[in-house]
Structures are given as C-alpha cells and as structure tokens.
Amino acid sequence: MNQFLPVSKEEMVERGWYWYDFLIITGDAYVDHPTFGPAIISRVLEAEGYRVAVLAQPDWHSADAFAAMGRPRLGVMLSAGNIDSMVAHYTAAKKRRHDDAYSPGNKAGLRPDRATIVYSNRVREAFGDIPLIIGGLEASLRRYAHYDYWEDKVRRSILVDSQADLLTYGMGERATREIAKRLSKKEPISSITDVKGTCFLAESPEECAYPSVEVASFEQVSRDKRAYALANKVEYDEHDPIRGRAIVQRHGDRYVIANPPAMPLNTAELDEVAELPYVREPHPMYDSMGGVPAIEEVRFSVAHNRGCFGACNFCSLAFHQGRMITSRSHESVIREVEMLTKHPGFKGYIHDVGGPTANFRHPSCEKQLKHGLCKNRACLAPTPCPNLDADHSDYLKLLRELRAIPGIKKIFIRSGIRFDYMLEDKNGEFFAELAKYHVSGQLKVAPEHCANGVLDYMGKPHIQVYEKFKQKYDRLNQKYGKEQYVVPYLMSSHPGCTLQDAVKLAEWLNKTGRQPEQVQDFYPTPGTLSTCMYYTGIDPRTMEPVYVPTDPHDKAMQRALMQWKRPDKRPLVLEALRKAGREDLIGYGKECLLRPMPGAPGSPSQPRKGKPEERREKKDGKPRLKQAGLRGEHNESHSKRKAGWAKPKAKKNARPNKRG
C-alpha cells in the first residue's frame, strides 16, 4: 500500500529517519495526486532515492513551522501551489475570495498573499544559506519583470524578491532531477547555472551558458510601456525547447538569466511520472477539517497529455507548460483507469480523460519536432495553419479501449475541447463518438466572444467556426437521440472589447436563445500577452494601440450586458445601451434586450390593473388575454420551452475548466 511522505518529525522517526534530503513546501494542502505539482516533484525526488518531507500550508507568521522537521541535508524546494496565490485569494474585481478549494474545509486564508516570497523569507530565517529553489505556476509566470494586477505596477522578477538561489519554470521534473543530482555531489548551488528550465541571478550577462537575447531592464519596463510590450513578446517567442534562446534582463546591478526551456518529457518519461506511487488522496490529517475539495474534480479523472498549441493570448499554459504536446501511452492510461475501478468509491464513471486541451494527442505538425513552434504564427487562430495535422485517431482509439474495460459505465470528457481543431479533422468519427459516448449532458467549449475583432485580440477562432461546430453537434445529438447541450464559456472586458462589442455579444446571445448564469471577466494574470495589452494598451504582436476597458463601471456594464434579463442588471444595461447609441434594443421586438418602462415612449400609456390572467376583453364573444398589454419579459421564452427546444440553464455551481 502506498504511503504519504512524512509531514512531521514524528512521521520521519516512524520511518527510522533522523535526517532527510529535501523539504518540499507548498501553499496547497498536501494532496498526493499527480495533478498537484508539489506531489509530482516530491515523488520524482523519492524515485531518485532521496528522502523527502512535505510541509503543506505552514504557519508563515514565524519560522518555527519551517524549522520543525529540522534542516534538510540538501535543500528546500517550494511552491505557492497549483495556482498563483493572488488568483487564489482575489477575484477579477480584486475582492477577497471566501473559499479555497485547495485548502482543507474549503477555508480561505491558509496561505499568505505572494506565498512564494513569504515562504522564502521564512526559509532563510530558519535555515540561513541553505540551497533554496522556487517553482510552480506562481514562480514560472513571474520569472521576469512583470505587471502585477493587484498592485497595478510592474514588479521585479520573483527570483529577486524571494532571495531564492534558483527558479524552475515549466513542469520542472528534468530540472529538479539535475539540480538534486548535482547538490548530492556537493556542488555549490551558486555554480548550478546551466540547467535548462531554470533562472538564476548573475553579476554579468557573460555568465549565461547558452545563446541569449537581452530584453529591456526592470527599470526600463517599469517606466516605458512600449519597452514592456517589446520585452513581453521576446519572452513569449523564446519559450520554445528547440529554438528558444536564453533571456537576460537586468535588475539594478544584477541580471536575471532565464536558460532555455527544458524539453518536455517523452511518452516513456511521462508514463513513469504518472505512475509513481501516489496515494491519490488528501493526507488524512485533513479528515476532521472537511477534507480538501479540489480532489473531487480529479479523483476519478486521468490526464493523458501535456502542453497546448491553442495559444489563447489570455491563457498562462503556453508560458508555463509550453505549446509542444506530449502524451502518455495507451498502456499507461489503461493501467490507471483499471486501478481507479478498484477504488472503493468508484461508481463506474471516469470524469475526464483530458489535460490542458483534451483532444490534443500529438504535435500540431511535423515541422515543429525539428524546428520548434513558429514565432509569429499560431497553429489555429485566426485560421488554421496549412501545416496543421488535425487527427483524432489515436485519441479515439484510446477512448474505445477505455470504454471496454470491465467496470466502466461511462467515460466523460470535461477538459477543454478545441472545436476548431475538431472541425479540421476530415474524419468525423471522433466528433460522432464524442456526442454518442462522452458528454455528460453538457459539453463545455470556449468561443469566448462573438465579435471577430475581439477574438483576434484573444487569439481565438472567429465566431462562424463556433457556429459551424454547434450546428454539427446539434445534428449529431438529433441523430443519436441525445438531449445534450453546449455550454459556451464567454469573457467580458478583454483588451480590444469596446462597449459596442459587448452589445453585439448580448445581441448574439439573445438571438441564440442563451444567457449565461456565470460570466468571467478578463483576469490579467502575470506573463500573458493579454495582460501585456491590458497594462500597456499595446498589442505586443503588432505594437499597435489597443483599446482596454479598465474603468470598473465600464467593465460592470460589459458584464451586465451578458446577463441582461436579470432585473438587478437593468439599470446598467439601460445605461450601456444609451451610451452605445443602441436604444433600438429597448422595445417589444424579439431582437430587443429591454422592455420600456411604463410611461416611456412606445409603452402603454395607462398602467395595467390586476394580474395578467384577469385582464381580458371580449372579442367575438370569447374572453382572451390582452397580449399587447403584458409587461415584463417577452412570452417567447415560454413558447420555446413549450415547444421543447429551449436550452437548459447551466449548472449554478459548475466549476470552469481550463480555457482552451
């Protein structure tokens, strides 16, 4: 039976340990599952023969908790957790969140803001000059001078602010193994400066071991937004394991040097990491606290791939995992699913066989295997590259094999699906079997908007592609007698989205008979191209100006337009329509968003008395409702429901998947 790694001095003694090699610190609760980055790194180190202890969500108000297990022999590796600690704590409106799915009992506040920096400072207090390596998503996205949405300013590289010796970015297994091996051979941490996928601080750019390019310094990008945009584009372009160069950025009298990215793990290596002896559950110390909610999303799910060449400009995946796809073998995935069928809580349903983007199983084209991904060309948007290899045959074969495993009732796909990639596959078998076997009532996809200009800034396909996909999906459901729907993810206030564009989106939603219950405002997370647009007002791909909605009231109007039927949103929607010069959308036509208020031009002049069912008039001797005088919502929605083709509401508490 698999064991958790020790989390206390007592548990180390139970193992007969009186020393250990590495302390892994994480801002999440300790969940020993391969979807949690710190769990992966700790098991990778264990597999290399090192003794590893885990310190999860320590009390950061003093160094006591950090020193409680004693000084590790080789070093400390720490992460803020699976997501940036500021994103974990604050909404896009900068309001404090009341819960945290990565903490026991869903309780917020068990990690500090800017957890990587705070934890690093406490490690220095506890252990002095011990080798300190930071990693995880927070460190990865903040490795250069970056715009910080919460402070509304450019901050230094997190490597400088944390006082760490090394920063690992990306998934980190290769870099971790190499660093650990060299530390175990007594090599000073200061000399480990040539590991791919790491950043270090240097006195001179000459210390870089690889061909490099220097971007504008922290001081320059802090005061010059054009310099920031140029630097961001270079940082994004060079994030390629084949053709990428090292990047040098001066911070005061020192230099942050980011070595080129490490190569992604190949299939055999990915299989090995996925099948390390994880317990696949939260540590039992959380049982009395209500458990860790984040496990519920992944307990019966399987990740079969890494990387994403979708390259949405607002998504951090391209800047963290990279755009090159690697996949696990069929045999490895089958072994994992067979293991899940033996879990005492398993009821026959695999919730997901996916990853960053579920339907990517191989690189987007053969060319990138030799030359890397193109600098100035996205694989899918605004139109698919002619070299794109859109082929679902391997993924389809895998799903068929999984469906045949004894004990499996249903295999769902709940990760992001790239519908534009699906349409490029001339063989329609995958699309057909997706609708027939792998949808749990609702298929979640991300068109994001309907205005093509906005979609270009997002790096997404034009809306006509989504509409073509939706039509084909509906035909397949009709063919198979399935009552299944598409739930479109949509975003408001992205750079480039004007109030007029937001009105177009409301019109499109009205025309298609949908109104989302959940709306996502654009969230400027560190490192992305969209965040660069938000801060600078410049599209770094073209260096042309871009409109950015930053005023909270303007953003509130854009958001309200997507939920125009809600009575509490009426004042904002009315203001937005007037400001956009679209008062034609206030009326009784089916294309209108709002009905006029009583007494307004075009509305009935006399107030109606009594309930609608009591307002009748005689015509040909028969009583009937006086339809023209009804106030409130248009009766069209009722007639649609009666006809049996209205769309159901999205689940209120549905958790958004990664955008893809």
The per-residue pLDDT for range 334-386, each reduced to its tens digit, is: 999 999 999 999 999 999 999 999 999 999 998 888 899 998 889 999 999 99
Residue 396 tokens, joined: 């389809």
Residue 588 tokens, joined: 């009784």
Which residue, chain included where needed, has tokens 């879990």? 343
What sign does the dihedral 639-643-647-651 (CA atoms) show?
positive
Give helix 552-561 / helix 570-579 axis angle, nearest 10°: 100
**pTM of the predicted model, to two decimals?**
0.88
- Phi then psi dihedrals of residue 369, to 5 deg: -65, -25
Q: Identity (one letter) of the amino acid at 601? A: P
Q: Do residues 154 and 145 make contact, with C-beta atoms less than 8 angstroms apart?
A: yes
Residue 627 tokens, joined: 């339809």
Report domain 447-602's class: alpha beta
CA atoms of 141 and 311, how far apart (whole Å): 15
The size of the chain, in residues, is 660
Residue ranges of the chain whose pLDDT lies below 50: 604-660
C-alpha dihedral (366, 369, 370, 374), degrees to nearest 10: 80
Q: In this structure, how many other beta carbons lie within 10 angstroms of the beta carbon of residue 511?
A: 11
CA atoms of 312 and 213, how far apart (whole Å): 25
CA 655 to chain centre: 12
CA atoms of 358 and 413, how far apart (whole Å): 7
Confidence (pLDDT) at 601: 57
Residue 182 tokens, joined: 């060299």
Looking at the chain, which residues constitute the CATH 3.30.750.210 domain(s)? 300-440
What sign does the dihedral 183-185-191-193 (CA atoms) show?
negative
Instruction: Encode pLDDT of 500-549 as tens digits.
Output: 999 999 999 999 988 887 789 999 999 999 999 999 999 999 999 999 99
Looking at the chain, which residues constitute the CATH 3.30.750.200 domain(s)? 447-602
CA atoms of 216 and 235, how far apart (whole Å): 11
Looking at the chain, which residues constitute the CATH 3.40.50.2300 domain(s)? 9-258
Residue 554 tokens, joined: 């303007």
* Residue 111: burial class (beta carbons within 10 Å; 0-12, 13-18, 19+): buried
Q: In this structure, how many other beta carbons lie within 10 angstroms of the beta carbon of residue 637?
A: 13
CA atoms of 244 and 323, how far apart (whole Å): 12
Q: CATH for 300-440?
A: 3.30.750.210
Q: CATH for 9-258?
A: 3.40.50.2300
CA atoms of 240 and 84, how far apart (whole Å): 23
Strand partners, 99: 107
What's 190's DSSP letter?
G
